[in-house]
């Protein structure tokens, strides 16, 4: 999708309030990818992606910007917590696993799309298999016995081709009309329940050229069991099997690797947690610097070995984020700093932004609760003053306790509507008006008690 930067910002505005500078930066970085594809091929490989560091407290929209960006452009996206990685030799995950995870997610996504594309053809093949089960030929399949007790009268099959064909077409018509839905068939179903073997090591199994799960799966005999299932369920099972068989996995893997290499986005959250302050020389900082050095080749561009084949990380866009309360981006090792040329500081959210977050976005928090309660036939109306009061309390609690940004709204809304959500199925009065007095009454005691606020809000 070749969106212009201003179009990208407009799309992000539908879901994220404020943070205009951050939206502009990611929009430019995304457009630069398209521009790179248009330049002559000899220069294309020289143009590196402009990686970004989003700086700001929690709950201001850093993750949401990256996630919406990937959805907008249909780019492979993987969010990882930088603090989960450790230097080789310490307990933790290998940094290359984030690329493997990104590829695995992309393969699964493309496989699902391919299965959806061949759904009609798979259904047709499944229908033929179902007719074979319902009308077995006694000469070829003596193990099948026609059930004596049947809810639907069927004319008996004979060896005569014309009669058999006629019976098959009658069965097909009955199957499509749902007249056989109450009938049971015997179906051999593969039992997918298989113990997962996790191997803990400081080197990825793919690097050793071994994929233990596939290897064990191929060594063990396929565990199939015969089940007696109703026709509709059997059709679903057969359709899923046929859709899986129709998908060309070699093509899926090739396309997935291409998408990851050319348009993949990796979101490195809490990158400040692996940055040690320059004034400290304590033990943990050594490990943190080690993680940065392990991250460096991935961000710079290297080849990561996966079970699907090698993946180049040269053109993956890395978006890092962190609060940077106790450290600064300049505390990162110089080489890694150079790989994140764009730094954007996000604004802290206040009362004005909270009001907009509650009401304006397409997925606004108030709209979510209204839709949930509407399923019970309850019509909830929020007065403007009530919304203002919720925003004011959220800002006040953030100032009084820890500032967790817009996430505070979720906690307050859940507590505010707790009784209504519980009693909704039994309410006689189906219209509920939430006014300022209701909000004050419900939240006054907790808001005024700082210790209680810390626990509940």
Q: Are strands 184-190 and 224-230 parallel, antiparallel or unpaired?
A: antiparallel
CATH, domain 5-112+254-345, list 3.40.50.300, 3.40.50.1010, 3.40.50.261, 3.40.50.11030: 3.40.50.300
Return the pLDDT at 144: 41
Return the pLDDT at 138: 42
The predicted model scores a pTM of 0.77
Name the DSSP letter for residue 348: P
Q: Would you say 9 and 25 are in contact if contact means Cβ atoms under 8 Å apart?
A: no
Domains 5-112+254-345 and 351-456 share a fold: no
Task: State whether residue 51 is helix, strand or coil.
Answer: coil
CA dist 185 and 233 (Å) reads 10
Q: What are the φ/ψ torsions at residue 415 (nearest 5 degrees)?
A: -70, -40
What does each C-alpha distance from 105 to 246, 256, 308, 319, 391 come to in angstroms?
20, 9, 12, 18, 37
Return the pLDDT at 147: 44
Task: State whether residue 75 is helix, strand or coil.
Answer: coil
Q: Would you say 189 and 224 are in contact if contact means Cβ atoms under 8 Å apart?
A: yes
Q: Single out the residue of 301, 263, 315, 316 nearest to residue 110, CA to CA.
A: 263
Return the pLDDT at 157: 43
Other Cβ atoms closer than 10 A to 362: 7
Structural domain spans, the chain: 5-112+254-345, 126-246, 351-456
CA dist 160 and 118 (Å) reads 34
Give me the average pLDDT of each 10-residue run along the chain (457 residues): 86 90 90 87 83 89 87 86 67 78 92 90 88 66 42 47 75 84 81 49 46 56 74 87 90 93 90 72 60 88 91 91 86 88 89 92 91 92 92 88 86 90 88 90 77 68
CA dist 171 and 185 (Å) reads 14
Return the pLDDT at 457: 65
Other Cβ atoms closer than 10 A to 393: 25
CATH topology of domain 351-456: Helicase, Ruva Protein; domain 3 (1.10.8)
């Amino acid at each position: 999708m070749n969106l212009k930067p201003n179009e990208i910002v407009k799309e992000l505005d539908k879901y994220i309030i404020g943070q205009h500078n951050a939206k502009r930066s990611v929009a430019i970085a995304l457009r630069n990818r398209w521009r790179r594809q248009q330049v002559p091929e000899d220069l294309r490989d020289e143009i590196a992606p402009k990686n970004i560091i989003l700086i700001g407290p929690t709950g201001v929209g850093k993750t949401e910007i990256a996630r919406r960006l990937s959805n907008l452009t249909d780019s492979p996206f993987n969010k990882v917590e930088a603090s989960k990685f450790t230097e080789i030799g310490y307990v933790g995950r290998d940094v290359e696993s984030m690329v493997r995870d990104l590829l695995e997610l992309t393969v699964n996504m493309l496989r699902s799309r391919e299965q959806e594309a061949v759904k009609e053809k798979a259904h047709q093949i499944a229908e033929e298999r179902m007719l074979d089960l319902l009308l077995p030929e006694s000469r070829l399949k003596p193990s099948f016995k026609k059930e004596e007790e049947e809810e639907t009268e069927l004319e008996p099959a004979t060896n005569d081709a014309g009669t058999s064909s006629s019976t098959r077409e009658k069965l097909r018509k009955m199957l499509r009309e749902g007249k056989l839905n109450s009938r049971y068939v015997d179906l051999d179903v593969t039992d997918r329940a298989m113990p997962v073997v996790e191997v803990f090591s400081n080197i990825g199994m793919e690097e050793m050229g071994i994929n233990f799960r596939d290897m064990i799966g191929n060594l063990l005999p396929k565990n199939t069991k015969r089940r007696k299932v109703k026709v509709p369920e059997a059709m679903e099972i057969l359709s899923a099997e046929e859709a899986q068989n129709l998908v060309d996995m070699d093509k899926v893997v090739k396309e997935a690797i291409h998408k990851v290499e050319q348009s993949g986005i990796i979101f490195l959250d809490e990158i400040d947690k692996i940055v040690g302050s320059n004034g400290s020389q304590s033990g943990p900082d050594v490990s943190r610097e080690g993680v940065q050095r392990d991250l460096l080749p991935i961000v710079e561009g290297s080849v990561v070995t996966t079970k699907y084949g090698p993946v180049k990380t040269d053109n993956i866009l890395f978006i890092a984020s962190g609060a940077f309360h106790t450290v600064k981006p300049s505390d990162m090792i110089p080489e890694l700093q150079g790989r994140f040329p764009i730094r954007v500081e996000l604004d802290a959210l206040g009362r004005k932004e909270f009001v907009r977050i509650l009401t304006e976005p397409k997925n606004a928090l108030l709209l979510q609760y209204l839709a949930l309660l509407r399923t019970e036939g309850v019509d909830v109306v929020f007065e403007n003053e009530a919304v203002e009061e919720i925003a004011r309390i959220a800002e006040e609690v953030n100032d009084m306790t820890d500032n967790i940004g817009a996430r505070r709204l979720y906690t307050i809304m859940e507590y505010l509507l707790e009784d209504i959500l519980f009693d909704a199925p039994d309410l006689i009065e189906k219209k509920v008006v939430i006014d300022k007095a209701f909000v004050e009454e419900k939240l006054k005691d907790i808001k005024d008690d700082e210790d209680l606020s810390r626990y509940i809000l």
